[in-house]
Amino acid sequence: MEVVFTFDVKDYQKRDLQTKFPQVMFHFNKKPQDAEVETATVIVTYGGDIDAALLERTAVLEWLMIASAGVEKMPLAEIAERGIRMTNVRGIHKVPMAESVLAHILALRRSLPLIYERQQVKEWNRKVGSTELRGSTALILGPGAIGSEIGRLLQAFGVRTIGCNRSGKKCESMDEVIIFDDLLDRLGEADYVISVLPSTPETKEMLLEEHFKAMKETVVFMNFGRGDLVKESVLLNALKNDEIGHAVLDVFETEPLPQENEFWTLPNCTVSPHVSSLSGKYVERALVIFESNLERWLQGVKALENIVDGGKGY
Amino acid sequence: MEVVFTFDVKDYQKRDLQTKFPQVMFHFNKKPQDAEVETATVIVTYGGDIDAALLERTAVLEWLMIASAGVEKMPLAEIAERGIRMTNVRGIHKVPMAESVLAHILALRRSLPLIYERQQVKEWNRKVGSTELRGSTALILGPGAIGSEIGRLLQAFGVRTIGCNRSGKKCESMDEVIIFDDLLDRLGEADYVISVLPSTPETKEMLLEEHFKAMKETVVFMNFGRGDLVKESVLLNALKNDEIGHAVLDVFETEPLPQENEFWTLPNCTVSPHVSSLSGKYVERALVIFESNLERWLQGVKALENIVDGGKGY
């Protein structure tokens, strides 16, 4: 059986895999056009290199292991048609993403951008306008594994957390959970509106002009989910008209964010180049999940962990 | 009875004080040279404007309310000689200071300085080298009210906390407490060395060259206590020789930090202009402590809260 990685891993990780699974032939760092793809039973990929043309060239592909969370850009219909199973690395983003969210919030509250700027010009100025996180309210769109971890940390800082999902079902580390339909009515309570929603037909352009008008003028809006949650023109207007206080964006309609995009230069917008989930421990954790699934696979167990439902999109 | 504030407060706060204490004559925003000082029974000050000359001019001064934490620059001998009581606002710094410490740590781990810099030149570059806070170890010098609050937040992020004090006595939110004498032996375990120690004869130049040599090369050293904890030349050398990874300094031997000081320009040093304890809620909280003490005072209760022992220096 052959397993093709479309990215590279460290040498010790290769040795580890080969030692643990001597019956498997591993190929690392292969391009979609490489011949090894044609005989692969398993492809391990970040997802962006899988398209219908590649699937055409595979002969015995049974399992796509996606080392990321979102699958909305994958050829889901073709994958389903061919009966190819998909798994992802759900859960491994929660630590780095929650740390990123807290880093950005705390940096803004404790005036770090200003402190950094003034250091560059050697300006000692104690007027920084710092405030506190404690005592504020956060509304988390998508309180799943990542959202709950964000909520847990926010609660440690004395922040009230409101989760918002489709069902209104209780979630960990949320003081309260509301349904999507009640969002507009409750947005005005939040000092932070944080989205970690995946891209699905339901979440696409879910936030409209009226939502930003309903937010506090001082709110920090954070999109760490997917760029199509809100039309960029809508968000740009809200920022330019000071309808909201600040935006921290890790995801965009078009990535890389084009040079001419106004987000780059707005003083009340932080552009993060889709890095909130990155971590020195990322591949290590992805391999733990993969190895556990590969073991099941080789034993003939069909119930893999982190199965992705192509229909739902997550 | 007259109470002189040497700083200003908001109008509603003035009205509040006058309503609650009609028998007291309040003077706000007075300079040390103003005549009101001469007839003040109580002076409320940030501390920096109190010197021996001012004390000479007071006739009935009985109580100095210091709206800050450190008193090492006050004329302690003269204050003691005149039997003037001192109180401070111990405890009100813990929320903003702990939030500042976490902000700086998370910003470094999640690459915020780099993200901000690249936004200025519109550079979309996902190579940011982010790592995680989770799983690391912090050594906190001075695990009192502030240090424990820092420890509590670090623990929420999955950080092991080692407190270090004189007695080795257990402290809240510390997985372990060690004594000053064991510091050198244990420094090598820490990914973060965070000082919130006050300035006392014992803590002055407590950290020497050998301490920085004993730290991890990747350590983040944070001084949020007092600038005389370590000679600047020692710390500068450690940074320039990459003996440590990064320093975040909120306090300095000389403040404001002189233009020619090298800390300003070292790439592995963050200069914070003594702002870690500042917060929009600072004066509000200081007044709560002051009002509670003033009430006791007017009732003849001599056991005020937050009495400062001029001999110990805290």
Average pLDDT over residues A225-250: 97
Question: What does the pLDDT read at residue A165?
Answer: 95
Q: Rounded distance, CA A277 to CA B128, Å?
A: 11
Task: Report residue A104 as tokens.
Answer: 């950005």
Contacts of B129 in chain A (CB under 8 A): 280
Q: Which residue of A has its CA nearest to B99?
A: A106
| pLDDT tens, residue by residue, A139-173 | 999 999 999 999 999 999 999 999 999 999 999 99
Q: Rounded distance, CA A194 to CA A94, Å?
A: 14
- Give the distance from residue A182's alpha carbon to the nearest chain B alpha carbon, in angstroms: 31
**Residue B185's pLDDT band (cuts 50, 70, 90):** very high
Helix (H, G, I), strand (E, B) or coil at A304: coil
Given the DSSP bridges, would you call strands B246-249 and B269-271 parallel, antiparallel or unpaired? Answer: parallel
How far CA A132 is from CA of B15, B136, B147, B148, B278, in Å, comes to: 25, 25, 17, 18, 9
State ipTM.
0.84
Average pLDDT over residues B37-52: 94
How many residues are recorded in chain B? 314
Least confident interval from A264-273, A282-291, A303-312, B238-247: A303-312
- Give the distance from residue B96's alpha carbon to the nearest chain A alpha carbon, in angstroms: 6
Average predicted confidence (pLDDT) for chain A: 95
**Residue B313's pLDDT band (cuts 50, 70, 90):** low
- Give the distance from residue B156's alpha carbon to the nearest chain A alpha carbon, in angstroms: 7
Average pLDDT over residues B29-53: 94
Q: Rounded distance, CA B170 to CA B160, Å?
A: 15
- Are A71 and A88 in contact by the 8 Å Cβ rule? The answer is yes
Above 80 in pLDDT, residue B159? yes
Average pLDDT over residues A4-22: 96
For a pLDDT cut of 90, what percent of chain B falls above it? 90
Helix (H, G, I), strand (E, B) or coil at B103: helix
Helix (H, G, I), strand (E, B) or coil at B25: strand
Q: Which is more confident, B313 or B21?
A: B21
Residue A225: count of CB within 10 angstroms of its CB: 23
How many contacts (CB atoms, under 8 Å) link A and B?
A: 141
How far CA B305 is from CA of B63, B149, B170, B197, in Å, comes to: 12, 20, 24, 21
CB contact under 8 A, B95 and A132: yes
Q: Rounded distance, CA A226 to CA B164, Å?
A: 44
| pLDDT tens, residue by residue, B110-144 | 999 999 999 999 999 999 999 999 999 999 999 99
Sheet containing strand A220-223, edge to edge, reads: A176-179, A160-165, A137-141, A192-195, A220-223, A246-249, A269-271
Pick from A206, A275, A210: which is nearest to A237 by CA?
Answer: A210
Whether the domain at A2-92+281-298 and the domain at A94-271 fall into the same CATH topology: yes
Of A95, A103, A128, the CB nearest to B275: A128
Given the DSSP bridges, would you call strands B160-165 and B137-141 parallel, antiparallel or unpaired? Answer: parallel
Least confident interval from A188-192, B45-49, B205-209: B45-49
Least confident interval from A118-122, B7-11, B88-92: B88-92
- Are A274 and A255 in contact by the 8 Å Cβ rule? The answer is yes
Of B99, B118, B270, the CB nearest to A106: B99
Residue A268: count of CB within 10 angstroms of its CB: 14
Question: What does the pLDDT read at residue A71?
Answer: 81
Above 90 in pLDDT, residue B42? yes
Question: What does the pLDDT read at residue A91?
Answer: 83
| pLDDT tens, residue by residue, B222-269 | 999 999 999 999 999 999 999 999 999 999 999 999 999 999 999 999
CB contact under 8 A, A102 and B107: no
Sign of CA dihedral A266, B129, A253, A229: negative
Kindly report the CATH number that applies to the domain delimited by B2-92+282-298.
Answer: 3.40.50.720
Consecutive H or E run containing A152 = helix A145-156
Q: Report CA A263 to chain centroid distance, whole Å.
A: 19
Which CATH superfamily does the domain covering A94-271 fall into?
NAD(P)-binding Rossmann-like Domain (3.40.50.720)
Q: Which residue of B has its CA nearest to A97?
A: B110
| pLDDT tens, residue by residue, B52-87 | 999 999 999 999 999 987 787 889 999 999 999 999
Domain ranges of chain A: 2-92+281-298, 94-271
Question: What does the pLDDT read at residue A313?
Answer: 65
Of A100, A118, A273, the CB nearest to B126: A273
Above 70 in pLDDT, residue B314? no
Pick from B244, B277, B292, B309: which is nearest to B86 by CA?
Answer: B309
Which of B105, B114, B115 would you mutate first to test chain A, the one with the most A CBs within 10 A? B115
Above 80 in pLDDT, residue B310? no
Question: What does the pLDDT read at residue A123?
Answer: 98
Question: What does the pLDDT read at residue B90?
Answer: 85
**Exposure of A49 in the CB half-sphere (CA atoms within 13 A):** 19
Cis peptide before B198 (omega within 30 of 0): no
| pLDDT tens, residue by residue, A71-102 | 878 899 999 999 999 999 988 899 999 999 99
How far CA B123 is from CA of A52, A100, A261, B188, in Å, comes to: 32, 19, 12, 37
Of B124, B157, B275, the CB nearest to A111: B275
Q: Which residue of B has its CA nearest to A123?
A: B259
CATH architecture of A2-92+281-298: 3-Layer(aba) Sandwich (3.40)
